[in-house]
Amino acid sequence: MNSARAVMWIGFLGVSAVVAWAPGHWFGQEDTVAPVAGKPTRTVAAADPVGAGLPAKRPAQAQRDLFPAQRWSKPQALATVTEQPAVAAPAAVAAPAAPTLPFQFIGRMGDRDDLQIFLQSGEKLYVVRQGDVIDDTYRLDHVSATELSLVYLPLHQPQTLSVGSAP
């Protein structure tokens, strides 16, 4: 073995020994606390096992969270909830009502026995007589000189349509 290699090994082993010895020497518990007069200080012997100079773990340290949750923002305040008694008032349910009449009176033709009524809904033109059903929705019940009486069939509700003055 040449001398350069021997010097390298001796240096490596020396640095390893210093690194192994340094944490116990510079970072030990005894160096951080100043010795009290009258109390002998304890030195760690070479025969002591690793960690023998450290204090025993207490239950609080054993259960300490190593990675606690951290927040950058302030925690939000929780809303308070007050319990109120439920009021059991029956809601007034409106009875279903028939929609407004979609028809416009256009005119009438004929005599009393064969009277035809012309009604318009949008672009559709209906020619009806008394008793006819329009689109399965409305039925023409009664025809008078001033008004038409129609029944909205889904709800059986009567409705009237003004036709103006008598002829």
Q: Which residue did the predictor score with more confidence, 128 or 25?
A: 128
Distance between CA atoms of 93 and 73, rounded to whole angstroms? Answer: 49
pTM over 0.85: no
Which strands make up the sheet holding 116-121, listed edge to edge?
104-109, 116-121, 124-128
Mean pLDDT (whole number) for 32-36: 50
Indicate whether 131 pLDDT > 90.
yes
Interval 55-101: pLDDT, tens: 655 555 567 888 888 888 887 888 888 888 877 767 677 888 889 99
Taken in order of first residue, the domains within the chain and their CATH numbers are 103-162 (2.30.30)
Mean pLDDT (whole number) for 133-146: 92
Q: What is the DSSP string of 23-83?
A: HHHHSSHHHHSPPPTTSPPP---TTSPTTTTSPPPPHHHHT--SS----SSPPPPPPP---
Mean pLDDT (whole number) for 112-132: 91
